[in-house]
Structure 1
């Protein structure tokens, strides 16, 4: 029986694609590049904001990344001002999280989003202190798919990795769970397609949170 559920943030518990698309578009626009659409942003996110900026610049035509360092600073400031832009919970997720809490299951968020922005975003959608733990990029925690953050959260919960179920929407998340020795759940409502998730053989693939409730009944 699982005693904890650890969730990725972007594309898993909160739909943040508009905030990131808006912020990265404003960033590359400072250098005269065209706006990015949500489809490309979904492909560029998942590995931290530095990779997002790098991928967006390369796609936009900055093949030598001459604007990279400046763009990082611009994006950090821009995203700080826009991280709550049109963010919302995914359908069925608030009800599922309440179900888990009623069952006494510990719930946590492990994300490559910067820690301060992660806390701000989660609290805006779900309220303060709703999750038992939130761990974002920073404070010496290596980004996913390194399992360090997953191990740290399991340790804070005083649980073994095998007692934790890890949820995410990208290959990075599937690797994270596997690297940490946790069973993984691939969610198809996020930023990547089912085919990408299947390639990493998660224990479960779901298209709505209700599809995993039976595991806790």
Structure 2
């Protein structure tokens, strides 16, 4: 029986697709002096940014410079390009009113994640927030999701983890949570179904219906 819900952030609560893609394009052009297909730039969204950058270079200095340039650009553009998906606040409010504790488990760094949550007041509905710098493992490893459940005082089997990437579903399944694939995010349905989520949701308003 599900007693709490954990959410991914980018592509699940917040629509950050265009911001991430534009920041990736800017960093690759500035540092590597090249253009790459959007599909390649976005292939590992859902894993820590540091992990993603190793797909574009095997040089430590270039890797670190890609991170620096991406983060600087992303910070400037963030507030003007990010929006919550339709129904997010309504759904979080309804879940809290029904007595479900909520949390976020993301591969984004803690403070960067909180920037987006605070921007729209979504942090007020959360009892925990785990970023990539809050736990030694990263999705698709199950550790961060299991840690989120522990912070809510629950076994992972009592939690639902909702995410839009295959790495989310892998992490949730590995932790022993029930998992829900968010089809409104950044990855196509077949990619998510291949990871065998327990549920598939067309929109975030479907989440309370699962409970």
Is 1:34 matched with 2:35?
yes
What's the counterpart of residue 150 of structure 1? 145
Q: Paired residue for 2:53?
A: 53
Q: Distance in 2 between matches of 1:108 and 1:47?
A: 18
- Which secondary structure state, in structure 2, belongs to the residue aligned with residue 129 of structure 1? helix
CA shift, 1:36, in A, is 5.8
Who is 1:9 aligned against?
9
The structure-2 alpha-carbon separation of the partners of 1:73 and 1:133, relative to structure 1 and needing over 3 Å to count, comes to same
The 2-side partners of 1:156 and 1:64 are apart by: 37
TM-score (norm 2): 0.89
2:96 corresponds in structure 1 to: 101
- Please list every run of 5 or more consecutive structure 1 residues that lacks an aligned counterpart in the other structure: none
Say which SS state the counterpart of residue 167 (structure 1) adopts: strand
Change in 2 beyond 3 A, CA 1:197/1:21: same
Cα 1:143/1:84, change in 2 over 3 Å: farther
Task: From the superposition, tell whether residues 140 and 163 of structure 1 become closer, same or farther in structure 2 (CA, over 3 Å).
Answer: closer
Distance 1:126 1:65 in 2: 37
Counterpart contact for 1:20–1:83, Cα < 8 Å: no
Match of 2:187 in 1: 192
Find the counterpart in structure 1 of residue 19 from structure 2.
19
Q: What secondary structure is seen at the aligned counterpart in 1 of 2:146?
A: helix
CA shift, 1:74, in A, is: 2.1
Return 77-86 or 136-145, whichever deviates more. 77-86
Q: CA RMSD in A?
A: 2.1
Aligned pair 1:209/2:210, yes or no? no
Q: Give the secondary-structure state (helix, strand or coil) at the position aligned to 1:22.
A: helix
SS in 2 for 1:45: coil
Q: Could you tell me how far apart the structure 2 residues matched to 1:118 and 1:51 are?
A: 17
CA distance in 1, matches of 2:35, 2:26: 9
Answer yes or no: is 1:159 the counterpart of 2:189: no
Task: Answer yes or no: is the 8 Å Cα contact 1:2–1:165 preserved in 2.
Answer: yes
8 Å contact from structure 1 (residues 24, 53) kept in 2: no
Q: Deviations over 1:41-100 (max 9, x none)?
A: 432411111133233x3xxxx687873232222223333333334111111222111110
Q: In 2, Cα distance between the equivalents of 1:95 and 1:127?
A: 10
Q: Quick one: structure 1 residues 44 and 84, their matched pair in 2 at CA, closer, same or farther if it must change by over 3 Å?
A: farther
TM-score by length of 1: 0.87
